[in-house]
Amino acid sequence: MKKYTLVWWKLAEMSFLMQCANRWSSLGWLGGKIVRFVFFFIFLTAIFRHVPNVAGYSLTQVTFFYLTFNIVDILAQLFFRGIYMIGRDIREGDMDFYLIQPVHPLFRISSNLIDFLDFLTLIPVLVLTGMVLPKILGALNFPELTLRLILYGLLCANGVTIAFSIHVLIASLTVRTQQMESTVWLYRDVASLGRFPSDVYSELFRAILTFVFPIAVMVSFPSKALLGILSWDKVALAFFLSSILLALSLGSWKSALKHYCSVSS
C-alpha cells in the first residue's frame, strides 16, 4: 500500500512537471473546465427565475445534484484518466513496460495522467458543496445527520467504483480489439447526463441509466441518499450493482490480458 501511495505521488509530480512545461495549454484546459462548470451553474440558477422547481427539486437541491455529479466525475478523472490513453499506450508499446513492472498494470495505466488541474477544479466544487450542505441538512438531528453524511460518502465512493469499472471494461475492450478507445468519450458524454437529477428523464430512460449505463447510480443516488429520498432497497441495489460491475470488469481485464498480443517492434 505504501508503495502504491509513493508511486502515485511520483506519477502525479511528473504529470505536474509536464503540465508546467506546457503551461499555456494547461491553463486553457483549466479555463475550459471552469467555463463549463460556471456556465452550467449559471444556467441552473437562472432557470429558477422562470420556474419554482425542477422535477420537484428546489434550487438548492438541483445545485446539490450538480455538485455531486462534479465531485464523482472529477474524482474519476483524477484517478483514472490514464485509461483514456490506453489505445496509444498499446500502439506505441508503452503497455509492455507497464506489464513488466511490479505494480498492478491497471493502477499503472490509470495513474499515468494524474491531472493537478482536477485538484484545482475540485476545490471550488467542494467549497460550494460545503455551503449548500447546511441548507439541506440544517433541520436534522445529530444521528440522522451523521447517518446521511456517511451514506452520502459511501455512495460517492460507490460511484467512483462504478466509474472505475466502466473504465476498466473499456480498457479491456481496447486491449482485445486494439481500437474502441473512443468508447471512453462515449462514456464521458453519457455520464454528462448526470448533471441533472435523474428524475428529469423519462421512466424508461431512467431505468436504462440505472441498469445499463448506471450513471444515475453513480451520480444521482448519493445526492438522493443525502436528501433522504433514497429507499434502502435502492441503497442495496447501488452496492450490489457496483460489486457486480467491478467483478465483471476485473474478470474481463484478466482475460483481455491473456489475449494481449503486444505490437511487435
Q: Which amino acid is at 44?
A: L
Q: Write out the three cell numbers for 114.
A: 494524474
55 part of the interface to another protein, by CB under 8 A: yes
Q: Please, which residue, 42 or 236, has the CB nearer to another protein?
A: 42
CB contact at 8 A, 191 and 70: no
Minimum distance from residue 127 beta carbon to another protein (Å): 22
47 part of the interface to another protein, by CB under 8 A: yes
Q: How far is residue 69's CA from residue 191's CA, in Å, rounded to a whole number?
A: 9
Minimum distance from residue 108 beta carbon to another protein (Å): 8
Q: Write out the three cell numbers for 197.
A: 437529477
Place of cell 460507490: 158
DSSP-assigned letters across all residues of 141-207: -HHHHHHHHHHHHHHHHHHHHHHHHHHHHHHHHHHHHS--TTHHHHHHHHHGGGGS-GGGS-HHHHH
Q: What is the CA angle 41-190-59, rounded to 5?
A: 25
Q: Please, which residue, 201 or 239, has the CB nearer to another protein?
A: 201
Q: Please, which residue, 5 or 141, has the CB nearer to another protein?
A: 5
Non-local (6+) Cβ contacts of 234 within 8 A are 221, 224
1 part of the interface to another protein, by CB under 8 A: no
Minimum distance from residue 158 beta carbon to another protein (Å): 23
Q: Write out the three cell numbers for 37.
A: 462548470
| Near another protein in 18-37, by CB under 8 A | 18, 21-32, 35-36
Residue selected from 130, 146, 147, 185 as contacting another protein according to rule CB under 8 A: 185
Q: Please, which residue, 73 or 151, has the CB nearer to another protein?
A: 73
Q: What is the total count of residues that contact another protein (CB under 8 A)?
A: 64
Residues 236-255, one symbol each (x = binds another protein by CB under 8 A, - = not), give --------------------
| Near another protein in 102-141, by CB under 8 A | 102-103
The candidate with the shortest Cα–Cα distance to 67, out of 35, 44, 48, 50, is: 44
Residues 64-103, one symbol each (x = binds another protein by CB under 8 A, - = not), give ----------------------------xxx-xx-xxxxx
Q: Please, which residue, 43 or 240, has the CB nearer to another protein?
A: 43
203 part of the interface to another protein, by CB under 8 A: no
Helix (DSSP H) and strand (DSSP E) numbers for the chain: 13, 0
3-state secondary structure of 58: coil
Q: Write out the three cell numbers for 235.
A: 441503497
Q: How crowded is residue 161: how many other Cβ atoms within 10 Å of its Cβ?
A: 20
Alpha carbons within 13 angstroms on the beta-carbon side of residue 223 total 27
Q: Write out the three cell numbers for 27.
A: 491553463
208 part of the interface to another protein, by CB under 8 A: no
> Footprint of another protein on this chain (CB under 8 A)?
3, 6-7, 10-11, 14, 17-18, 21-32, 35-36, 39, 42-43, 46-47, 49-51, 54-55, 92-94, 96-97, 99-103, 179, 182, 185-186, 189-190, 192-193, 195-196, 199-202, 205, 258-262, 264-265
